[in-house]
Amino acid sequence: GAAIVLLFLIILAYRVSFNRNQDEELPEHLRNPLPDYPRPEFINYQKVGPLGAVHEHADIAIYVDGKQIDLAPLQYQLRDKFVHVEEARGDVVHKHATGVTLGYFLSTLGFTTENSCLVIEGQKQCSIQIYVNADRIENYKDYEFVDYDRILITNSRNADQIQAQMDSVTSNAKQFSRK
């Protein structure tokens, strides 16, 4: 009996030590689910949550000056526990809570707002247009996206270019949904 208890304690101590060492090797963004990033004043955190209330996915593409911003790099991954880019893909957003808006999601990427402009990767974009399912929306900050939305964010004013960009928004969200 005592040998079994001793063996159990040794195994338990090893597992705890192993898990602690693995945690220390994880990148910061995986150890801390809420990194320090600018949190815009317009987000009403009282309306967000509870965590796990929804499991929804939307497709997204962001274009600046005709070039698509790649959301697959690590800098955009798992930045918030309520919403994140799905599995390092860059084209699907995964939402875990009600009340999460497009403005909230963009803030988790480090994109901020100044007056009526969106600051993307340090560049102020004042002519941003946002389309959801091919319909232009005016107030992206408060738009709560839902399963299978196809979202385009662009600063283009050329109708043909906007259509081509809209056509580039994937329909991959469906493969991640539980519906």
* pLDDT tens-digit map of 14-45: 544 444 443 344 334 334 444 455 555 556 66
**Residue 75's pLDDT band (cuts 50, 70, 90):** confident
Question: Among the listed ranges 30-39, 116-125, 141-150, which one has the minimum average pLDDT value?
Answer: 30-39
Per the CB < 8 A criterion, the answer to whether 78 and 33 are in contact is: yes
Instruction: Give 45 or 51, the one with higher predicted confidence.
Output: 51
Residue 152: predicted pLDDT: 97
Residue 139: predicted pLDDT: 85
Distance CA 44, CA 46 (A): 5
Mean pLDDT of the region 95-118: 84
**Residue 157's pLDDT band (cuts 50, 70, 90):** very high
Closest of 143, 122, 117, 23 to residue 75, by C-alpha: 122
Instruction: Give 118 or 155, the one with higher predicted confidence.
Output: 155
Q: Which two structure tokens, joined as six digits, stand for 2?
A: 């005592």
Residue 9: predicted pLDDT: 61
pTM, rounded to two decimals: 0.75
**Residue 162's pLDDT band (cuts 50, 70, 90):** very high
Per cent of the chain over pLDDT 90 is: 40
Q: What mean pLDDT, rounded, does the chain reach?
A: 79
141 has pLDDT over 90: no
Residue 150: predicted pLDDT: 98
On the question of a cis peptide bond just before residue 38, with omega within 30 degrees of 0, the verdict is no
Closest of 37, 23, 123, 40 to residue 75, by C-alpha: 37
The 10 Å CB-count burial string (b at 16+, else e) for 3-33 is eeeeeeeeeeeeeeeeeeeeeeeeeebeeee
Residue 111: predicted pLDDT: 84
